[in-house]
Structure 1
Amino acid sequence: MMRAYEEILRVVDLETTGLEPPAAEIIELGFYDVRQTQGGEWVVDEDTFGQALFGCERPCPPEVLAVHHILPWEIKDRPRFQARTAEDWMESKAYGRAADVYVAHNSKFEQAFLPGFRALDGSTPAKWICTYKAALRIWPEAPAHTNQVLLYWLGLHNETEEDLRHPPHRALPDAYVTAHILCCLLRKATVAELLQWTVEPPLMPTCPIGKFRGKPWTEVDAGFLSWMLAQPTMETDLKWNAQRELDRRAGR
């Protein structure tokens, strides 16, 4: 039976044979839907989820096997991943409902592997929310911002099913954890804010370099911030954070 909702956020997680496509391939996809009820509450829909394994052309390196432990015999003779087929499969699991927005923890990774995923109107690319970037904004004081650290730091291990979030580093359990983190984020921010933060560089809670390493940006000397901006080899994300702090001080 079709359930009542106003918006569907589809949380996806991938396991792959490496870090960068096309040399690396998707060998597992897991997803959970997070939906907004008619009353406005965001909830994990534990009836709308799925997990699928896929074959690959090249063997998975040992250092990658050591992370997800998906053995060659598990994916032997399975079809290769196809974005359109995967989207149709997820929709079939979700009462025929397409996602309004896709979500992943550190979504830059998933987006690189899933450029063909479609927006609700059928166009590409799809809209994405990065729960990692959002967590940096909402909880800068967290000891780290991986989904497993946030699981325990937020106390979600006391509110979620242990058998559904294990084993870590497999697509379906990781999607389950990220879905619950997303619900926590949505108590603090709107979907529009999460979408905007996703297209911006990550907001670093502290300065990660030099003599101000580990210090809040508010405590970093203005001269050091200007020095960062002047360095041609400085990472773009670091320059963005330095400029943001200078703009804050200037009232911009």
Structure 2
Amino acid sequence: MPTTPSLFAEPGPTIVRVIDVETAGHRLEDDAVIEIGSIDVDLATGVIGNPLQTLCDPAGVAINPHARRVHQISDAMLDGAPPFAEAVRPFASAGLYAAQRASFDRSRLRLTGRWLCTYKLALRAFPQVRAHGLQSLVKYVPLDLSEVRPMLEGLHPHRALYDAVCTAVLLRTIAATLMPRCHDVDDFLERAERVSHEPALLARLRFGRHKGVALAEVPDAYLEWLLREPGMEADAVFTARHHLRLRSVRGARKMPATAV
């Protein structure tokens, strides 16, 4: 029996699969995924659960010594691990993903769906925080990990599930901060996805005479120079253009109305 279509749009999904990978530590074309971890967070309820993790056979790709020092995954731990194509299948059932540096994880996992970047979103939600790496955000926001401590047992930062769980708490905290500016969860996700695909809106410049200075304190002339400089990184150009446009709008609002 046919149903009458709703006059209103159906609410979209609210569960995000927050995912993290550890790799052999090479350029994309030479890299290999050696661990995947994920956790789901429902942005409508705040519930975090369904942890998944697996090691992956690197298929003969040697692990970069620096990468090994970071994640501490040994060759012995990878003995008998499934190949990537098999290991990634349980993670592919979600249509909405998030990662701290989404471009990195997305390029390695090649999972289709919508992606959010918590690094870029954290820059919007917490511009005053001194650094926006994951563990810096855990420390300086700060993030309350007490609820998820049982999921972190036996792990450490830079293991895939550990970082995925921390990122899920980060995403939930970002949503709590930014959602009041949005109409509903769908509106938040739409805006968050757009921000995630733009260059990062930096809180501070990472180079030059104004390195580390809050953008509000960087002179117009320097921001205009950034726009003219050939080969300037996309994040810096995007940030400079944003702040110059914002200042222009604010300046126009302050101008006295002229007589007609």
Does the CA-based 8 Å contact 2:56-2:87 persist in structure 1? Answer: no
Match among 150, 153, 158 for residue 140 of structure 2 = 153
Residue in 2 that maps onto 1:95? none
Aligned to 1:22: 29
Determine helix, strand or coil for the equivalent of 1:250. Answer: helix
Structure 2 match to 1:63? 66
Counterpart of 2:122 in structure 1 is 135
Deviation at 1:78, TM superposition (A): 2.7
Cα distance between partner residues in 2 of 1:70 and 1:194: 33
Indicate the structure (1 or 2) with the bigger Cα radius of gyration: 2
Q: 1:163 Cα shift? A: 4.6
Contact 2:17 2:98 in 1 (8 A): yes
Of 90, 94, 99, 1:99 maps to 94
Residue 176 (structure 1) aligned to one of 165, 168, 184: 165
Match of residue 5 from structure 2: none
> Does structure 1 retain, via aligned residues, the 8 Å contact 2:26–2:64?
no
Report the CA distance shift for 1:79/1:87 in structure 2 as closer, same or farther (over 3 A).
closer
Unaligned residue ranges in structure 1 (runs of 5+): 92-97, 119-125
1:114: how far off? 2.0
Report how far residue 68 of structure 1 moved: 0.8
1:102 maps to a residue whose letter is: Y
- Bigger CA drift: 53-62 or 206-215? 206-215
Alpha-carbon distance, 1:188 to partner:
2.0
Q: Percent identity?
A: 30
Counterpart CA distance in 2 for 1:150 and 1:76 is 34
Distance 1:143 1:11 in 2: 24
Structure 2 distance, partners of 1:251, 1:86, is 51
What letter corresponds to residue 248 of structure 1 in structure 2? L
Q: TM-score, normalised by structure 1?
A: 0.82
Q: Quick one: structure 1 residues 175 and 101, their matched pair in 2 at CA, closer, same or farther if it must change by over 3 Å?
A: same
Aligned residues: 227
The equivalent of 1:122 in structure 2 is none
Cα distance change on mapping 1:155 and 1:217 into 2, 3 Å: closer
Instruction: For 2:32, give the aligned amino acid.
Output: E
Q: RMSD of the alignment, in Å?
A: 2.1
Q: Whole-Å Cα distance in 2 between the matches of residues 245 and 140 of structure 1? A: 13
Aligned residue for 2:182?
none
TM-score by length of 2: 0.80
Letter in 1 for 2:96: V
Give the match for residue 56 of structure 2: 54
More helix by share: 2
Identify the residue that residue 114 of structure 1 maps to in structure 2: 109
The gaps in structure 2 that reach 5 residues or longer are 1-11, 179-187, 251-260
Q: Which amino acid aligns with 1:160?
A: E
Letter in 1 for 2:168: A
Q: Deviations over 1:2-28 (max 9, x none)?
A: xxx952200111010014223110010
Question: Conserved in 2, the CA contact under 8 Å of 1:7 and 1:100?
Answer: no
User: In structure 2, what is the Cα distance between the partners aligned to 1:24 and 1:158?
Assistant: 31
Counterpart Cα distance in 1 of 2:159 and 2:100? 13
